[in-house]
Amino acid sequence: MIKLAIFDLDGTLINSLGDLADATNKALTDFGFPRHDEDKYRYFVGNGAKKLIKRALPDGTPDDVRQRVFDRYSDYYREGCMNRTKPYDGMPALVKQLREGGIKCAVASNKPDEFSKRIVRELLGAGSFDLVRGKRDDTPTKPAPDIVYGICAELGCEVVEAVMIGDSNVDVATAHNAGISCIGCTWGFRGERELREAGADFIAYTPNDIARTVGIE
Confidence (pLDDT) at 5: 98
pLDDT, residue 217, reads 65
CA dist list (Å): 1 to 161, 162, 198, 200: 6, 8, 24, 18
pLDDT per residue as tens digits for the range 98-131: 999 999 999 999 999 999 999 999 999 999 999 9
Give me the chain's average pLDDT, please: 96
Domain extents in the chain: 4-15+85-213, 17-80
Residue 199 neighbours by CB distance under 10 Å: 13
CATH for 4-15+85-213 is 3.40.50.1000
Render pLDDT for 4-54 as a digit per residue (tens, 0 to 9).
Answer: 999 999 999 999 999 999 999 999 999 999 999 999 999 999 999 999 999
- Are the C-beta atoms of residues 33 and 69 closer than 8 Å to each other? yes
Cβ atoms of residues 139 and 150 within 8 Å: yes
Q: What residues are annotated to the active site?
A: 8
Q: Which CATH superfamily is domain 17-80 in?
A: Putative phosphatase; domain 2 (1.10.150.240)
